[in-house]
Structure formats: C-alpha cells, structure tokens
Amino acid sequence: MFGQSQQWRNIEGHTVREPLGTVGLITSFNYPLLLTAWKLAPALAAGNCVIVKPAPQTPLSTLALASLASDILPAGVFNVLTGGTEIGEAMIDRVDKISFTGSTRVGQMIMQQASNKLTPVTLECGGKNAAIVCDDTHLRHAAEQVAMGAFSNAGQNCCAISRVLVQRKVYEPFLNELQMATAKWKAICDKEFHEEQEWYGPLIDDNQYRRVRSIIDGLDMKPFFEGHIQSSHGYFVPPTIYTGVQDDSYLATEELFAPVLSILNPFDEVDEAIHRVNQSKYGLAAGVFSNHMQTISKVSRYLKTGYIWVNQYNIMPPSLPFGGMKLSGIGKDLGQSGLNEFTVEKSIIGGFC
C-alpha cells in the first residue's frame, strides 16, 4: 500500500492507508473457494480481521480453508459463519466493511441495511454481459470464445456472455461456427470422454434448476440450438442458443445464471451495437471481437461496463481490478484497487513551529 506526499512552503501533507478493522465477506456459490480468496487475501494483507459467510449451498471449501489457516493465523483473525440470509443480516450491523458477491437483489438489500451506519460496501453483483462480433474478426475463434464465455460452469458466472450482437455481413456464418463450437460442450455426467470436448456441470440446486427450466419452457420460441444430455440424473441444463431475440425481451434483459445464450438481431454499424449494449441496466463485463484497432478502441471506450475482453474471454489476471457499473455493483475486487477497498485513507498535514 502507498499514499501521497505533498508540500507547500513549510507545510507538509501526506496520506496513509490503514485497515478498517473487522470486515465481512459474503460469497456466492459458483466459485466458493476462488471468490473467498479474491476477498480474503487483500483483507488480511491490509491488516483486517475477517468474517466470511459462504453461500449456504457451498460452505465446505471455505471451512476447509479456515481449518488449514488455523495453524498459521492468530485466533480470531479468520472466522467463518455458515447459514442463510439471517447470518448475513446480523453481520452487516457488526462489521466495519462488507464485501459481497452475489445477485443484484441481495446486493441492494445489503446496501440498504449498511446505509443505516454508512458502513462501506463493495458489491459485485449480476450482469447481462454482451459480446460484439464484428465482420472483420476471425469467426471460428470468436465463436469458440463466445461458447466458452457462455457455457463454462454451466453459465453460472457473473460475467458469463448471455447476449451476442453480430454484424449483419457475418451473421449467418457466425451462427454456423457457434453451433459447431457449442456442440463440443458436454455434460460432465455423460460418459463418452473425448479430448476435443469441453465439459460443464449441473446447476447448483433444485431451486435454480426449476427456475431456469420454467423460464425456458415458458418461452414462445424454439431454440436455434440445444445440446443433448444422455443422463437424466442431476440438475443439468444443456447449452441452449436462441436467435432473433428482441432487445427488450426477458432473454435479452434479465440474468438467467444458466447456459442460455441469446443472439440479438444483427447490427450494421458499431455505434449501433454500442448503443444497444448500453441499454442494459447492468454493466459488469463485455467482449469485442474485431481486428480493427479503431473499432476496438471505440467499443472499449464507450461501453458502460467495468471489464472488457478483446478477442478473448474469461482471462482474469489477479493484478487487474474487476467490478461493474450500474446494477452490476460498486467497487472492485483484485488488483491494487481491490486492496484499497479494505483500507481507509487518512490525510495528515502540518509542520514545525
């Protein structure tokens, strides 16, 4: 950590960053150990004590980590509380900071409760992340990256691609490439393992499975592509692609947290694509696929999202801050910014008489 130093005549001023005290970390089920590490490491490095509340569906990896750390850290530095929303609600009023990863709805509830004491929050919430595919890109590579961004971890990823805008000239060729790329994704429950295949797991639980199935089954449109699952066991939803999706439809505006991908109507000019992507109430992540530097620069500059991939997806170096805009959240995980989130900045100014 570092601060600033300034001087005016015989007066010197500088800043220091200090730990907040005890911070509460609330993580989601989709990457339980990874998300804990994202928050735990900078919180401890900044000098705080930590209380982690893992998602009730996935507490075991966090408990195992705490057990391993018990021989390293002093008692009371790293604590884990398991349970449901009542645990999180009780924790908010008792800590000096909340760092949360989860749904926008729960993030809003946390922010509202934290406002009673103006407790600082970092909120990494939902997203309706878009990929823009331009007519000068390598279509097969773009299709493979889009499929990976949409279907890895069964789409249970806050930054998963869930809507795609394709330039009109390459709309049909891209769909053909995307269909072939998606066909490689197989459910881990199926037994025919091949090196050229990619694998995804089930949805987290029965509630999420029933929610997603009810949405899919209630649609008045047929999928352009739907994967096949051999086994009937588990909460598996196959990779599913819809085309001709209207910008204002449920599929194009709401986060499903599932392996469902919406291909919106094609665009003609890049400015149009940027405008349409920015209509979302979310602003977490996006991808742009183009080999034209001016296009890449324009899209990266004007998209209202916190994280943008160029000609790739889901690569996340821990040194680069991650976080969103609008209903996707406040503050950052990772990088120097993620470390600063767990500190308070103090200004000191004066001189000698």
**Ramachandran angles phi, psi of 175, nearest 5°:** -60, -40
**CA-to-CA distance for 279 and 248, rounded, in angstroms?**
9
CB atoms within 10 A of CB 236: 21
Which residues face 209 on adjacent strands?
A: none
Q: 325-326 and 282-283 as β-strands: parallel, antiparallel, unpaired?
A: antiparallel
**CA-to-CA distance for 234 and 83, rounded, in angstroms?**
24
Helix, strand, coil percent values for the chain (each to nearest 5): 35, 25, 40
Residue 189 annotated to the active site: no
- Quick check: 58 and 29 in contact, CB under 8 A? yes
Residue 124 annotated to the active site: yes
From the candidates 49, 124, 144, 255, which is the catalytic residue? 124
- Quick check: 130 and 280 in contact, CB under 8 A? yes
CA distances (Å), origin 17, targets 47, 134, 338, 349: 10, 44, 13, 15
Instruction: Name the token pair of 295.
Output: 């296009």
3-state DSSP call for residue 200?
Answer: strand
Instruction: Name the token pair of 204.
Output: 């987290």
Instruction: Name the token pair of 167.
Output: 């330039």
From the candidates 49, 125, 134, 158, which is the catalytic residue? 158
**CA-to-CA distance for 279 and 260, rounded, in angstroms?**
20
**CA-to-CA distance for 136 and 325, rounded, in angstroms?**
29
3-state DSSP call for residue 186?
Answer: strand
3-state DSSP call for residue 54?
Answer: coil
Q: 97-101 and 22-26 as β-strands: parallel, antiparallel, unpaired?
A: parallel
**Ramachandran angles phi, psi of 57, nearest 5°:** -80, -20
Catalytic residues: 124, 158
